[in-house]
Amino acid sequence: MVVVSEFQEKVFTLLKQIPSGRVSTYKALSDVLKSSPRAVGGACRNNPFAPDVPCHRVIASSGYIGGYLGDWKNVPSGQNCEKKLELLEGEGVKFDLEGMLVDRDTLWASFKV
């Protein structure tokens, strides 16, 4: 049995609302939770249910791909970030070579609390 904190549970509930083919931001989630983007990132980093609970659909508010399971594109392996890009591209969300979101119309923030 996996144990998660109350905060993680709230984050994961919101993550499940993000539709396939759309992305949201750490800031959008933190605004709903009245928290910080870093706290949301921490919950995503420790998501034992990924990719079923789609933390890969969360990016930086600048449009940058951000990290996935604790990895960022510029870390030595960058392995998890490549997986995040693959998952999102498989859902139709495109990023340029610098890791920036191509179509900002894919941003989504219609969370129900």
- pLDDT per position as a tens digit, 88-104: 999 999 999 888 999 99
Average pLDDT of the segment spanning 100-111 = 96
Rounded distance, CA 40 to CA 13, Å?
12
pTM of the model: 0.89
Give catalytic residue positions: 55
Reported in sequence order, the residue ranges of the chain that DSSP labels E, i.e. its strands, are 24-25, 58-59
Average pLDDT of the segment spanning 70-78 = 52
Is pLDDT above 90 for 68? no
